Amino acid sequence: MRVLLLPVKNLRNAKNRLACVLTPEERLGLAQAMLADTVRAVQGVRYAAKVFVISDYQPALDVAVENGWEILREDRQISESESVDAASRICEERGVRSLLRLPIDLPLIQPGDIDELLAIDCHSPTMAIVPSRDGTGTNALLRTPPTLFPSHFGEGSFAKHLAEAKQARAEIFARRNPRLEMDVDDESDLRALLEYDLRATATGRWLRETGLDARFRGVSKKEAGVAAGNHL
């Protein structure tokens, strides 16, 4: 059985690396919009036998109930790695053979991006991994079995997960996918996101409605003009 795991922290504490450019209310709104895009994609997935949500954030648990997904309720959250590993142990005890962890801040993600990973022929032990946009983080992580090695989400996690997989003598599938790689953690990510066509996304609508789309595009044009002037 192959399943999908969505770890969700309290979105009011999300995106702290954007605190220099977004207010707390804006960071919450952005996180909610990206969660909506991720949920939309997960709703269309065909190859996951089940979807698990591990969280102590009630709005995320409500989404899980609305979609008929399995809830793993936390009393408190220590870190994403702790949450994912706790969920992985529970899932393995329930007969799960392969577990795909996805973050919930992937505004471009499509159902086919997820199914493509779930469709990998995973003979134990196996790891499939998709890095973050800068190549250092981990955006998607599929492990067979789910507890193949401990999680190391955060700075430098891509290299750490590769090292763990090699130590476990696992077959490794490293995949590149610009939609899966496009999460939003800091200002450079947000600006990179605006280079895409966001018209069909909840994130794009939210950025337009709040005026942040125009604000950040305006700043980018201004900076480009200053850079050009410096070369005159």
Residue spans of the domains in the chain: they are 2-185
Instruction: Using CA atoms of 167, 116, 202, 138 in order, give the dihedral in degrees to the nearest 10.
Output: 10
Closest by CA to 56, choosing from 38, 37, 82, is 82
Give the predicted TM-score (pTM) of the model: 0.90
pLDDT digits (tens, 9 = 90+) for 118-172: 999 878 999 999 999 999 999 999 999 999 999 999 889 999 999 999 999 999 9
**Tell me, what amino acid is at 174?**
A
Low-confidence ranges of the chain (pLDDT < 50): 221-222, 224-229, 231-232
The third-level CATH classification (topology) of the domain covering 2-185 is Spore Coat Polysaccharide Biosynthesis Protein SpsA; Chain A (3.90.550)
**pLDDT, position 227:** 40
The 10 Å Cβ neighbour count of residue 211 is: 10
Distance CA 21, CA 200 (A): 25
